[in-house]
């Protein structure tokens, strides 16, 4: 019960307007209020935009699963595990 998993996705036409940041702040406040002690997520290693957002919100990378995703073009992508201690 002390762990919460979070994810966020915004329609592309609304990227870069601060909505991802606002949603993450809202989820953090909601989680704290409901007793969570840490937030956890995973993200594709090539998703620099999302990783940048998560780092600015206080998440740190704690693990990396190689070749977690097999892409349509046959290439692989790693998965990064991140955590934010509340």
Q: Which is nearer to ligand COA, 21 or 35 (CB)?
A: 21
- Nearest-angstrom CA–CA distance, 56 and 2: 22
Adjacent-strand bridge partners of 83? 40, 60
Q: Is position 64 an interface residue for ligand COA (rule: CB under 6 A)?
A: no
Among 20, 31, 59, 84, binds ligand COA (CB under 6 A): 20
Q: Is position 71 an interface residue for ligand COA (rule: CB under 6 A)?
A: no
Strand ranges inside the chain, DSSP E = 3-5, 38-44, 60-70, 76-85
Judged by the rule CB under 6 A, the positions of this chain that interact with ligand COA are: 7-10, 15-21, 43, 47-50, 52-53
């Amino acid at each position: 019960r002390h762990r919460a998993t979070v994810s966020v996705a915004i329609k592309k036409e609304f990227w870069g307007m601060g909505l991802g940041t606002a949603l993450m702040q809202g989820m953090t406040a909601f989680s704290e209020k409901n007793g969570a002690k840490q937030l956890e997520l995973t993200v594709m290693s090539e998703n620099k935009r999302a990783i940048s957002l998560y780092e600015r919100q206080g998440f740190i990378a704690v693990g990396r699963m190689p070749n977690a995703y097999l892409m349509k073009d046959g290439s692989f992508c790693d998965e990064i595990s991140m955590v934010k201690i509340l």
